[in-house]
Structure 1
Amino acid sequence: MRCRTRGTSACVAGVIALLSAAAGCMYLQPGLQRRIWDSYPNSEPLQVSGADPSTAGQLIYQQLRLEPRISTFLAGHGEPDTVQVLGARLAPKRFLLIYTRSGTGQSYRIVIDPSEDGLIARAPEPLPTSTPEPLPTVAPPGAKQTGRTHKPEPLTPPTNSCIPTAEQRLNCPIDHSRADCRVFCVCTPPFEWCR
């Protein structure tokens, strides 16, 4: 590059600006690369175990296994039954790996969070088990009806201005029947698990 018309300092400043722009592009390039999971924002659970290797769940899991910070951790747990991608299209993604092992009685999930250095896996958490509610009793034939009927309690907005906790934001889309999740259905706008 030759600078004849302006002084040497202007030429040096131009070269420095050009090199800075190139370095900035090289710095941003990894963040701008699309990953396979960018095509599945806020997905439903995608089948991994027993699925064809070309399916979305398998492709996402194989890409997760290539991440240096979590590859050994994931290898120790084996292939999950499902993987779910949580996060908007261009936002950092959180992953929910579900392991339901019917033979061993162990059912757990692993949450993988984004960080500045890559992905970080949390310790396995047991899956919430739902206990069946007792069936309503039916009065025998000929019994006198009292005229009282069961009315569900009206939902009242939470006292904390419709802001769910981090745990509720993670668990309510999965188990939306919980009482602490249903109270957010009266908020405006309603949360995704209320639809």
Structure 2
Amino acid sequence: MTRHIALTAALNAAALVASPVWACSIAPPPPPLVGESPEAYKVRVAELDRRQTETWLRTRQTTALQHAALIFVARDTAWTPPYRPPPTRRVRAGQPIPPPVPLPKVRYAYPAPSYFKPIGWFRGPRPQALFRVNRSMTTCGAMSIGDTTHSAPGNLYVFFARKGPLSEKTLIDAIAVDSIDDPALVAFVAKYRGKPPAARR
């Protein structure tokens, strides 16, 4: 059942590409065949899941390649915005002490976003700045674009984006490097496959 939920969510995400905010529906597994044993049923459902997953991944890659003006590999990077202390005021002798400067409001994003650093480029311009990818709450829980929902620092993804400044509005999809099997991208991702997470600095 879990695989069917995940597959339905992924298919919906592929259809809506850049927008992670979508309704999640649960696809029930097919019913057992007449006279089918529990063991045979499990094997049949597992094979169905495997074929559906392969088809879904192939469709995602083909669609992203067709629509992306920018394709690159980026690494999930542990990063937090730098602390900026409030400005200080100098007071001359004999002058009244001014009221304290109000502290800036600290805004916490929940679920927490991820940050990615481009490290390799296949198509389009070569952005090098760290960029942010948010997670949105859906009926399936916290979801992000493509395969990045459960990303961790060090993970590598192939990002696909439309023409324009790189942002969540232009992102089409993000596919884990080790899942790429489209002939157009295999050679490009070869040196990134199986890489262990980079050491934190």
If the TM-score is normalised by the length of the shorter chain, which range does it land in? under 0.3
TM-score, normalised to structure 1's length?
0.22
Higher relative contact order (CA 8 A, sep 6+): 2
TM-score, normalised to structure 2's length?
0.22
Larger Rg: 1
